[in-house]
């Protein structure tokens, strides 16, 4: 193996470095992007059940839920702001979902970059190897057969090495991208279901939404009284 790396020339150094970096990212993201760790099952049901039984969840308990999982961060944030109304609750949940998705995308673009540049490094090695091969031939005569063989070996080895690194990196890049899209869809689904259940079980605080309506009703009730007073004054005159 080491002989192949040496035969590939100095360009094998960045190709090997790309392969190691890609392997580290693939292992780390495979461990991190697990549904059981990001979107735990029955978390939403547990929060709604606790709300129905106790009427509320303490801030300390919600903060513990936020710190454990990404979905817990989103749902607990919504419950922390539900007293301010549906619009505030929804906006805070969307903000936390954006933050969580950004964290899940960590180092994913690096895989795509490695998948793009590894074949180019292999192609550069191929070009340099062919140049070395032609330099071995001068005026139609082969000056150094060893130099010719080394150039051909460099061209073939770097090309193969670049492809070997690029193919798994691109496959993993596309796979992780799809995994993040599925996780984001679960975020939206779970958040929407929680809001719907808060409505169904009448657990959503509607105080802020009802205040303007009561104020308008009070104003409307005063209008007929004012009209009656004006009519009485006119009749007296």
Interval 29-40: pLDDT, tens: 999 999 999 999
Question: Once rounded to an integer, what is the mean pLDDT over residues 131-155?
Answer: 71
Q: pLDDT band for 9, please (50, 70, 90 cuts).
A: confident
Reported confidence tier of residue 106, pLDDT bands at 50, 70, 90: very high
Crossing angle of helices 59-68/70-80, nearest 10°? Answer: 150
Q: Considering only CA atoms, which of 30, 52, 69 is closest in space to residue 180?
A: 30
Q: What is the pLDDT of residue 37?
A: 92
Provide mean pLDDT across the span 146-154.
75
Mean pLDDT across 75-95? 94
pTM of the entire structure?
A: 0.79
**pLDDT score, position 204:** 81
Q: pLDDT band at 4, cuts 50/70/90?
A: confident
- Across the chain, where does the E strand assignment appear? 137-138, 141-142
Q: Which of 122, 153, 149 is nearest to 137 (CA)?
A: 149
pLDDT for res 138: 61
Least confident of 36-45, 90-99, 136-145, 186-195: 136-145
Mean pLDDT of 198-222: 54
Mean pLDDT computed over 182-190: 96
* Average of per-residue pLDDT values in the chain: 84
* 225 pLDDT more than 90: no
Handedness of CA 190, 66, 39, 167 (dihedral sign): positive
* 206 phi/psi in degrees, rounded to 5: -105, 15
Q: Look at residue 131 in the predicted model and tell me its pLDDT.
A: 84
Whether the pLDDT of residue 42 is over 60: the answer is yes
The reported pLDDT for the residue numbered 12 is 92
143 band by pLDDT with thresholds 50, 70 and 90: low
């Amino acid at each position: 193996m080491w002989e192949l790396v040496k035969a590939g020339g100095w360009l094998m150094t960045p190709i090997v470095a790309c392969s190691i970096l890609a392997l580290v990212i693939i292992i780390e993201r495979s461990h991190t992007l697990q549904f059981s760790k990001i979107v735990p099952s029955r978390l939403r049901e547990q929060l709604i059940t606790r709300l129905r039984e106790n009427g509320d969840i303490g801030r300390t308990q919600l903060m513990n839920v936020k710190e454990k999982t990404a979905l817990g961060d989103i749902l607990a944030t919504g419950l922390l702001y539900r007293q301010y109304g549906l619009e505030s609750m929804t906006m805070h949940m969307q903000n936390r979902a954006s933050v969580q998705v950004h964290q899940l995308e960590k180092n994913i673009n690096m895989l795509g970059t490695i998948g793009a540049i590894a074949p180019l490094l292999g192609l550069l090695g191929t070009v340099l190897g062919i140049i070395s091969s032609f330099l071995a031939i001068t005026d139609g005569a082969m000056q150094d057969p060893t130099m010719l063989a080394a150039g051909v070996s460099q061209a073939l080895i770097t090309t193969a090495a670049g492809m070997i690194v690029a193919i798994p990196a691109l496959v993993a890049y596309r796979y992780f991208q799809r995994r993040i899209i599925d996780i984001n869809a679960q975020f939206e689904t779970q958040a929407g279901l929680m809001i719907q259940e808060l409505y169904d079980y009448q657990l959503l605080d509607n105080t802020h939404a009802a205040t303007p309506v009561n104020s308008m009703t009070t104003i409307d009730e005063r209008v007929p009284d004012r009209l009656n007073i004006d009519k009485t004054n006119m009749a007296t005159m």
